[in-house]
Structure 1
Amino acid sequence: MNLLRRLFLNQKNLSVGQIGENHACVFLKKKKYKILARNYSNVSGRRLGEIDIVAKDCDVIVFVEVKTRVGFPGDILPQENITRGKMQKVERIARAYLREKGLLGVPHRFDAVCVWCRPVSHEIVHTEHVESIFFDF
């Protein structure tokens, strides 16, 4: 694959990802979640990566991984791309967030919001919220 094509595909994927993250925030707010942070990355030490959304559901801090797909439900499930390695990375970043905010003893969980959108218009066709996608440290 040539460089120009790769750059075009990366830009296209980024915009689809941003559309999915924006939609996920609206979706969670409608469910009465409070959005605490978007695209959080640790401020101290070596950069560990990024968590798409940090939210609060009642008294629980929720770390949300957003997966967006162009296509329709029934195709490849977005959450299938949340690998064991990705989960471990999210755990490390979550631990950094809780430590930085002085919230180490606060209940928390890890969720996924899966968004499907149409190929050209990127109109949202389906959203699925999966709570407690894995258990943590």
Structure 2
Amino acid sequence: MRPMSEGRKDSRKQKGAAAEEAAASFLVERGFSILDRNWRNRTGEIDIIANDRGTLVFVEVRSRSGTSTYGTPSESVNHRKIAQVRSIAQQYIHYKKSYDIPIRFDVVAVILKPDMSVDSIELIEAAF
């Protein structure tokens, strides 16, 4: 039998994966080309990296399920997370040698129903 905390972690991972999948589909429907998903290095991970009409877009996916007890998904992007995403983006640009491409940081906020289907989804362009 698994410890209780492990079950919560699995559930959290499943919700995160469902939200990221929904966000990727949402972006593609809006004309974005997905370049990378879950690109990581030793300092962290960027959920989605996409191209939007010639702009390299680093997308942070945030989700909540059901209630707004802990605030909206977009409210959960704090200064520490912004700094982390910017740092990883800088490393991605260097790694891919994408120096001359305009960049943007977007947030996709997803609210999931209890069955992990999407209740609402919102793109916040140039969020930070």
1:4: how far off? 1.4
Deviation, 1:105, is 2.5
Aligned residues: 127
Q: For 1:99, which of 82, 94, 98 is the aligned residue?
A: 94
Give the match's secondary structure for 1:86. helix
For the Cα contact (< 8 Å) 1:72–1:118, is it kept in 2?
no
1:87 and 2:82 equivalent? yes
The 1:124–1:72 alpha-carbon spacing in structure 2 relative to 1, beyond 3 Å, is farther
Query: Stretches of 4+ moved more than 3 A in 1?
Result: 72-75
CA distance in 1, matches of 2:127, 2:32: 17
- Aligned-residue CA RMSD (Å): 1.6
Match in the other structure for 2:118: 124
Consecutive unaligned residues in structure 1, runs of 5 or more: none
Q: Residue 8 of structure 2 aligns with which residue?
A: 9
Q: Spell out, residue by residue over 1:14-49, the C-alpha distance to the aligned partner (whole angstroms, 9 max, x if none).
A: 00000000010000000000000000013xxxx121
Asked if structure 2 preserves the Cα contact closer than 8 Å seen for 1:72 and 1:117, the reply is no
Amino acid across the alignment from 1:51: I
Aligned to 2:52: 57
Q: What is the TM-score of this pair, normalised by structure 1?
A: 0.87
Distance 1:20 1:66 in 2: 7
What TM-score do you get using the length of structure 2 for normalisation? 0.93
Residues 1:68 and 2:63 are matched in the alignment: yes
> How many Å apart are 1:75 and its aligned residue?
7.1
- Name 2:30's counterpart in structure 1: 31
Instruction: Name the CA shift for 1:30/1:108 in 2 (closer, same or farther; >3 Å).
Output: same
Give me the identity figure in percent. 34
